[in-house]
Amino acid sequence: MLSKNKKNEIHPIIKEDIKNILSEPLPWSDLQNKTVLITGATGLIPGYIVHTLMSIEGVHVVALSRSEEKLKQKFSMYANNPYFTYLAYDMSVTSDFTKLFNETKIDIIFHGAGNTDNIGQQDIVNTIDINTYGTKSCLDFLKIQGSGVFIPFSSATIYGLSSVLKVSETDYGYTDLQANDAPYVQSKRTLEVYSYAYNKQFNVNIRIPRISWVIGPEMNRQNGMRTDFLYNLLDGQDMIIKSDGKRVLPFCYISDVITALFYIFFYGKQGEPYNIVADDGNISVKQFAEIHKSILNIQSNLIIKNEYSDGKPGIMMDNSKLHSLGWKSKITISDGLQRIYNYMLSKDK
């Protein structure tokens, strides 16, 4: 294990996010003496969950990811903490998941392992395997254990092309099985079906968060359109939209996503899905680009080439079901992008 290293301490902006998360009026003390497994722990959302739980006294955290090196680096600040354990494991393989924990009782599993964005459309078989085999491994473990809550990360993309202007949790549209994102979309649908099946047949306690396009610190160039405009500006380039920019997508800042996940855990109903999107998060690609230009003090042009119509109406998500649990978003998309930009500038110094 690595010793404590200042270079790997939590960044001040992320620390502030964690503080804001824990300021939510949730029964955080109920998590004391619980053991929580987070898969895909080195990713954006799972990593924030790890930091949040490690800020609560008495919570045992098991951080799981494929790369031991990345786990050591990202969470080196917890190297000597007896409440933290990391585990290098590939969720895309089929094996006896129960052997990993030596009869350790797992109270909650946040299943965040998976490929997204550009990686998800390149390593496509692995994308399917993680969402299917990985989900089944977790479900089988909780089935055998006979207790525990399973929260697998689903996606806004499962709605497909809906005729409904703003989709609620009961609205579904057409999805193209041969589309570039089909392996991701269809395996996320399978993730949900697996979870519902285990809930109905074996009474495994599940709640399904359907997560919008998440923005936050630590995003990189592999995160597609969510970071393209930001890196265009940081590189001194023009922001270019090749389509007409009219497609609408749902966005949410990372700290609001984390609070939503815990509202779903504490107050959500077993076997139910919940949309996670910021209250101001349903915006077009053009609007998303314009927000970047308005908040960042960088001279750059926004060029809409309009070489083709996107052909997709996009997705607008209705978050009223999540609101009914008491959640509301706190960080606007504009403020979130400003925080990400400040984080990137500080990392370059």
Structural domain including 159 reads 6-215+251-278+317-331
- Cα–Cα distance list, 163 to 160, 315, 323 (Å): 10, 10, 23
Domains: count for the chain: 1
Q: In the predicted model, is pLDDT for residue 8 greater than 50? A: yes
Answer yes or no: are the C-beta atoms of 30 and 105 closer than 8 Å: no
- Cα–Cα distance list, 210 to 123, 151, 158, 232 (Å): 22, 10, 8, 29
The average pLDDT across 116-128 equals 69
DSSP characters over 160-203: -B-SSSSB-TT---B--TTSTTHHHHHHHHHHHHHHHHHHHHH-
Question: Within a domain: residue 148?
Answer: yes
Question: Within a domain: residue 151?
Answer: yes
Question: Within a domain: residue 339?
Answer: no
Question: Within a domain: residue 268?
Answer: yes
Residue 4: pLDDT band by 50, 70, 90 thresholds? very low
Q: In the predicted model, is pLDDT for residue 305 greater than 90? A: no
Q: Give me the pLDDT at residue 221, please.
A: 72
Phi and psi torsions of 320, nearest 5°:
-65, -30
Amino acid at 41: A
Supply the CATH number for residue 274's domain. Answer: 3.40.50.720
3-state secondary structure at position 273: strand
- What are the residues whose beta carbons fall under 8 Å from the beta carbon of 170, sequence distance 6 or more? none
> What is the per-residue pLDDT across 62-83, written as a single tens digit (0 to 9) for each?
999 999 999 999 999 999 999 9
CA dihedral of 335, 338, 340, 342, whole degrees rounded to 10: -140
**pTM, whole model, 2 decimals?**
0.92
**Strand arrangement, sheet containing 35-39:** 84-88, 60-65, 35-39, 108-111, 149-152, 205-206
Q: In the predicted model, is pLDDT for residue 3 greater than 60? A: no
Question: Within a domain: residue 133?
Answer: yes
Residue 65 CA to residue 130 CA, distance in Å, equals: 12
